[in-house]
Chains A and B, each alone.
Chain A
Amino acid sequence: MNMTDILIAALVIFVAPIIGCLYAGIDRKITARLQGRVGPPLLQPYYDVKKLLSKDNMVVNPSQNFYVVVYVAFLILSLLMLVFRADILMIIFVYTVSSIALIVGGMSTGSPYARVGSSREIMAILAYEPILILYALAIYLLTGTFKLSAVVDASTPLLVYTPLIFIAMIVVLNIKLKKSPFDYSTSHHAHQELVKGMLTEYSGPGMAGIEIGHFYEYVFLTGLIFVFWAVNPLIGLIISAAAFFFVTLIDNITARVYWQWMLKLSWSVLLILSIVNIAFLYFSEATIM
Chain B
Amino acid sequence: MSLAKSPWIIHVNCNSCNGCDIEVVACLTPLYDAERFGVLNIGTPKQADIMVVTGSVNYKNVNVIKNIYNQIPDPKVVLAVGACASTGGIFHNCYNVIGGVDQVIPVDAYVPGCCPRPEAILDGVVAALSILENKKKGNIKGKEVKLKGKEVPSNA
Contacts and interface: CB of A to CB of B under 8 A. Distances in A.
A244 B56 CA distance: 46
Contact of B33 (A39, A44, A201): A39
Contacts of B75: 55-56
A195 B33 contact: no
B46 A202 contact: yes
B41 A191 contact: yes
B105 interface: no
B35 interface: yes
B47 A207 contact: yes
B93 interface: no
Contacts of A41: 36, 38
Interface string B11-42: 00000000000000000001001011110011
Interface in B33-59: 33, 35-38, 41-44, 46-47, 49
Given A55-B74, A56-B74, A47 B44 contact: no
Contact of A204 (B5, B42, B73, B136): B73
Interface stretch (A4-12, A30-38, A124-132, A219-227): A30-38
Nearest to A45: B6
B131 to A, nearest CB: 15
B44 A195 contact: yes
Nearest to A191: B43
B2 interface: yes
A202 B38 contact: no
Given A35-B30, A36-B30, A50 B35 contact: no
B30 A37 contact: yes
A106 B41 CA distance: 21
B61 interface: no
Nearest to B3: A51
A40 B30 contact: no
A153 interface: no
Given A191-B41, A195-B43, A196-B47, A40 B71 contact: no
A192 to B, nearest CB: 7
Contacts of B3: 51, 54
B42 A191 contact: yes
A55 B42 contact: no
A73 interface: no
B51 to A, nearest CB: 14
A203 B38 CA distance: 18
Given A51-B49, A195-B44, A40 B2 contact: no
B6 A48 contact: yes
Given A57-B73, A58-B71, A196 B43 contact: yes
A263 B59 CA distance: 45
A252 interface: no
A199 B47 CA distance: 10
Contact of B136 (A38, A54, A195, A199): A54
Q: Which of B5, B8, B37 gathers most chain A CB within 10 Å?
A: B5
Nearest to A35: B30
A200 interface: yes
Given A37-B36, A55-B74, A200 B44 contact: yes
A51 B73 contact: no
7 contacts: A38-B33, A40-B37, A50-B5, A51-B6, A58-B46, A187-B43, A203-B47
Interface of A: 28, 32, 35-41, 44, 47-48, 50-52, 54-58, 113, 187, 191-192, 194-196, 199-204, 207
Given A51-B2, A58-B46, A196-B42, 17 more contacts: A32-B33, A37-B36, A40-B36, A44-B5, A47-B5, A48-B6, A50-B2, A50-B5, A50-B6, A51-B49, A54-B3, A55-B75, A192-B43, A196-B43, A202-B46, A203-B73, A207-B46
